[in-house]
Amino acid sequence: MPAIRRGLRHPHPRVREQCCNLLDHLLVPEVLDDLIAMLDDPNAQVRVAVLHALSCDRCKTDACRPDSALVLPRGIHLLHHDPDAHVRAMAAELVARWVHTHPEAAAALTHTHETDPSPTVRKKAGWYAPGGPIHRRTAPRPRRRARR
């Protein structure tokens, strides 16, 4: 883990990107702040790797997940303001983690679906926005009431 943390500050973007890819599989609480800080990396491919590491549950081997209070505002900012369309599309996935529990996530995805200059980003945001196919599929199921 110390080598990965050092690699996050490497001068070559490809090294930083690959370290983020490693953290996607090996995310532990003590490096979460380092990973979140990488959302400000000047290289778009590094930011994409960070967003994937923070949003993807399929790749994780442990239970470390980012806290919405730390990550959601950053994700919304990237979703609305990053100059790179691929970064904005990945930010939609991160923001979507909280679409069922945080109204600001739902509003951000709806806004992006309606206004982003990229048709690809608008489409992806629409999948996760309220009413979209992934939003419907991932909606919490109503609990059955216990019979007496």
Phi-psi region of 62 (alpha: psi -120 to 50; beta: other; left: phi over 0): beta
List the structure tokens of 139: 């909606």
- 38-71 confidence digits (pLDDT tens): 999 999 999 999 999 999 876 655 666 788 999 9
Q: How far is CA 73 from the centre of its chain?
A: 11
Mean pLDDT confidence for 89-110: 97
Burial 35-59 (b: 16+ CB within 10 A, else e): bbebbebeebbbbbbbbbbbbbeee
Transcribe the chain into DSSP letters: -HHHHHHTT-SSHHHHHHHHHHHHHH--HHHHHHHHHGGG-S-HHHHHHHHHHHH-STT-SS-----HHHHHHHHHHHHHH-S-HHHHHHHHHHHHTTTTT-HHHHHHHHHHHHH-S-HHHHHHHHHHSTTSHHHHHHSPPPPPPPP-
pTM confidence score: 0.90
Q: Does 93 have pLDDT greater than 80?
A: yes
1-66 is classed in which CATH architecture? Answer: Alpha Horseshoe (1.25)
**4-14 pLDDT, tens digit each:** 999 999 999 99
- Where are the domains positioned within the chain? 1-66, 68-139
pLDDT band at 121 (very low <50, low <70, confident <90, very high): very high
What is the overall mean pLDDT for the chain? 92
| pLDDT tens per residue, range 128-146 | 999 999 999 999 887 776 6
